[in-house]
């Protein structure tokens, strides 16, 4: 988990993703997919089931030395595959990287179209209440 935190923190420093405390990462360890190169974790992404038919793709981050190699795409696709296997009808992401998610078939939606339950972590977020993330949804 420290390696995952390091990658996420590299992105959260410039606002590309939300920082996650180590305790949060350990308590959600089963949600995470990782990509390893040479035995080292170089990317991560999580699929967090929010409800019976809805899951969130969170904490997508790739080490800067491995960007633009398809790792982020592969990680999101792994999350989507697991969502299908679990029978989840829709996935969503709250993101500033809308172009990336649009290329994977996600569509922008109003945040208010998502159930209030999915915003439980927002109160602890450094972006709250002035969040600049967009809601993106994909039917799986």
Which residue range forms the structural domain that includes residue 66?
Answer: 2-139
pLDDT at 86: 96
pTM of the predicted protein model: 0.89
Q: What is the pLDDT of residues 94-111, one digit of tens each?
A: 998 999 999 999 999 998
Q: Using only C-alpha atoms, what is the Rg of the chain?
A: 14
What CATH number corresponds to the domain at position 47? 3.40.630.30
Q: What is the pLDDT of residues 110-130, one digit of tens each?
A: 988 987 767 666 666 666 667
In the chain, the number of structural domains is 1
């Amino acid at each position: 988990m420290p390696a995952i935190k390091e990658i996420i923190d590299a992105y959260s420093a410039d606002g590309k993703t939300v920082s996650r405390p180590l305790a949060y990462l350990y308590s959600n360890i089963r949600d995470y997919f990782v990509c390893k190169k040479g035995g080292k974790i170089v990317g991560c992404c999580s699929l967090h089931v929010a409800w019976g038919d809805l899951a969130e793709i969170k904490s997508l981050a790739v080490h800067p030395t491995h960007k633009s190699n398809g790792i982020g795409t592969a990680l999101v696709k792994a999350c989507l595959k697991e969502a299908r296997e679990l029978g989840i009808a829709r996935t969503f992401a709250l993101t500033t990287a809308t172009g990336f998610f649009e290329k994977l078939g996600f569509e922008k939606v109003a945040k208010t179209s998502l159930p209030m339950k999915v915003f439980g972590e927002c109160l602890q977020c450094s972006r709250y209440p002035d969040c600049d993330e967009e809601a993106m949804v994909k039917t799986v």
